[in-house]
Amino acid sequence: MTIKRKDIIIQLIDYVNDYNKSVGSEYMASVNAKKNIRIKDVAEKANVSTATVSHVINGTRYVSKEVAERVVEVMKELDYRPNSAARSLRSTKTNTIGFLIPVKKDDTSKSFFMSIAEGIEANLNSKGYNLILSNSKEDMQEEIKRIKMFNTQLVDGLILAPTNDDFNHIQEVLDNQFPLVMIDRLPINYDGDFVLVDNFQGTYDGVTKLVASGYKKIGFISSELGITTTNERFDGYKKALKDNHIQFNDTFVELGRSSFESGYELTEKLIAKKIDALFIANNIMTMGSVKCIQDNGLQMPNDIAVIGYDNYDWTKITTPPLSVVNQPAFDIGFKAAECILDRINNKNKKKANHIKLKAELKVRKSI
């Protein structure tokens, strides 16, 4: 029975994934060197030639299924890291793109990133490319492990929604020849290709609409500042107040964890301060906020007007339906795929693709 090249690749990927669960800061090649594990050792233990091991790793010639599986098993036993082989395989072009997202277990942003993935796939599939999805779970160390995995996993490029706030941490483990496109947020020290949404403009439009609707005591709830998305939304809030001649009041601003519970608690604090409107810059916190408003017997918009961030299905079925800032998730993905393919096909291109898409305020009955 002929074993297909992709079957061996899958086995190698499984092996590398197992490795990444325990890998420290050392590179694979240096690990091999320290343990003095060579391709010759793999060949001897598997009772094959070094050429056969190379063919299994690189998929350059037919190897029987039995022999190929034996070689992969010996690589596992000896803890041999096929790093250079993975780069060699990547150089042959696999027509596969990686996509790394930062979604926690209970995070409602899953649907946002899935819409982005749909946009990526719609573009990639029309060009003969495939997509591999992975999740950093909003954990910086997990993100590094996943990037290491993609470095060895035979993909032609990576689309990344980063968790690390400093690109230097990412660059330390990133293959220098690895095309990369950032989406959703930017770490500092990164000036490469990216596709973002204009978070400043989206928030500015929302707060300006609240002012135009007659509200003056406008509260603001967000996760902690530090990443570009939250920073830009906070800046948009402050600038909208200033441009509409409303004094900024820091007691109307509450920052906390990105969670339902935090959204609930922070809303309770602001209700006690007699605000008449609320802008929540985070979807899962918006859910907690709406629940708090309901539990306090308040009605939107008579007692308090509300605008949330992101246009999830649940926002359409609240009573009343919730006004939101809509991010064009599908378009983010489609444009990101366009950027990564452009970089793959134009490796010597110096100018980076910097794309910012417009957010859209969807006004419903909550204001």
Q: Model confidence over 5-52: pLDDT tens digits? A: 445 555 555 544 454 444 433 444 444 444 567 888 888 999 998 778
Please name which of 218, 227, 228 lies closest in space to residue 254, comparing C-alpha atoms: 218
User: Is the pLDDT at 300 greater than 80, yes or no?
Assistant: yes
Half-sphere exposure of 249 (CA within 13 A, CB side): 14
What's the average model confidence in pLDDT over 211-221? Answer: 98
Report pLDDT for 175: 61
Q: What is the number of other CB atoms lying within 10 angstroms of the CB of residue 226?
A: 10
Report pLDDT for 124: 96
Report pLDDT for 177: 62
- pLDDT tens digits for range 174-187: 765 678 999 999 99
Report pLDDT for 192: 93
CA distances from 59 to 4, 149, 291, 366 (A): 8, 19, 56, 59
As a whole-number percent, the residues of the chain with pLDDT over 90 amount to: 62
Q: Are 308 and 335 in contact (CB under 8 A)?
A: no
User: Is the pLDDT at 211 greater than 70, yes or no?
Assistant: yes
What's the average model confidence in pLDDT over 259-274? Answer: 97
Report pLDDT for 16: 46
Average pLDDT of the residues of the chain: 86
CATH classification code of 96-197+331-353: 3.40.50.2300
Q: Are 28 and 83 in contact (CB under 8 A)?
A: yes
Choose the weakest-confidence range: 77-81, 182-186, 210-214, 233-237: 77-81
Choose the weakest-confidence range: 24-33, 205-214, 288-297, 300-309: 24-33
User: Is the pLDDT at 355 greater than 90, yes or no?
Assistant: yes
- pLDDT tens digits for range 138-167: 999 999 999 988 876 678 999 999 999 899
CATH superfamily of 199-326: Response regulator (3.40.50.2300)
Report pLDDT for 97: 95
Report pLDDT for 155: 85
Report pLDDT for 27: 41
Choose the weakest-confidence range: 88-97, 157-166, 228-237: 88-97
Report pLDDT for 365: 97
Class of domain 35-82: mainly alpha
Report pLDDT for 215: 98
Report pLDDT for 61: 67
Alpha helices in the chain (DSSP H): 5-20, 28-35, 39-46, 50-58, 65-78, 83-91, 110-126, 140-152, 167-171, 199-212, 228-243, 260-272, 283-295, 329-345
pLDDT band for position 93 (cuts 50, 70, 90): confident
Which string of DSSP letters, residue by residue, matches 164-222? Answer: -SBHHHHHTTS-TT--EEEES---BT--SEEEEE-HHHHHHHHHHHHHHTT--SEEEEE
Pairwise pLDDT comparison (301 vs 313), residue with the higher score: 301
Report pLDDT for 35: 56
